[in-house]
Amino acid sequence: DKIAGMVDFVFCAVDMKKEEIRTLEERYAKAECPVVSNNSAHRWTDDVPMVVPEMNPEHLEVIPAQRARLGTKRGFIAVKSNCSIQSYAPALHPLMKYGIEKALVCTYQAISGAGKTFERWPEMIDNVIPYIGGEEEKSEQEPLKVWGHVENGKIVKADAPAITAQCLRVPVSDGHTAAVFVKFADGKKPSMEQIKADWADFKGRPQALELPSAPKQFIHYFEEPDRPQAKLDRELEGGMAVSMGRLRPDTQYDYKFVGLSHNTLRGAAGGAVLLAELLCAEGYIDHK
């Protein structure tokens, strides 16, 4: 409590049981210290905004309701989403206007997402592990909260699109890759040229506000058939941009493509910093 009273806000990224994290973060918030969390513990608390700044900045509007519940004037909790969804949900976001019916995604996730290096995890060299605990549920459900809406002081998750996911750990140091398949509602399928144009034109609130950590171009598309690649493209715009490639028709879905995001920058620490910048710019965090 003494520390909370000395700082403007805190970032929270701790290795504890979820119930302990929830208690810790609420304790800081109740001590009138805003919390920007990298943890998953509060992602499904219905008055805690889970924000990808370019996608759902309007969810910050739930903060007054959360403050009312906590009995605070200044303190609150805001969280960032799971790192894996950053590699495909941003690409689907500007296409939602066409009525995405369903999506299938397979993610190929770097070892840094488990807090490991090859030196500390030699079992991952020359190996693929087809299981990451809890990751598939997060990948299928978290985008629906991001695409939800604020109603009566709570975030109500979206009903669609239906997402099914498989998540694999692969021998890559940094960068999560996603193979994505997408089906649009009948009669609403955009052309490939329109999809590429929507990706190129998409700008969010961070770009409008010119926030320090915001990429100038959020979604990059590569025409080369062998891109994006983790080693070549994960550092794009300081690791804060996302990359797409290989957009093409599919035999069972409408289209398929490949996405890439830097899991420890856009997907973790950098995403939390960008969220904090947005909270400051929108007046939810101020200097004590």
Catalytic-role residue among 33, 42, 59, 83: 83
* Bridge partner list, 242: 219
Query: Cis before residue 249, ω within 30 degrees of 0?
Result: no
The gap from C-alpha 200 to its chain's centroid, in whole angstroms, comes to: 19
Please give the torsion angle defined by the CA atoms of residues 167, 238, 39 and 139, in that order, rounded to the nearest 10 degrees.
-30
Confirm whether 167 is a catalytic residue: no
49 contacts 78 by C-beta, under 8 angstroms = yes
Of 132, 205, 196, 197, which Cα lies nearest the Cα of 167? 132
Catalytic-role residue among 59, 176, 220, 262: 176
Confirm whether 59 is a catalytic residue: no
Query: What H or E segment, with its residue span, contains residue 12?
Result: strand 10-12
**Distance, CA of 178 to CA of 165 (rounded, Å):** 10
**Distance, CA of 41 to CA of 48 (rounded, Å):** 11
Residues with catalytic roles: 83, 176
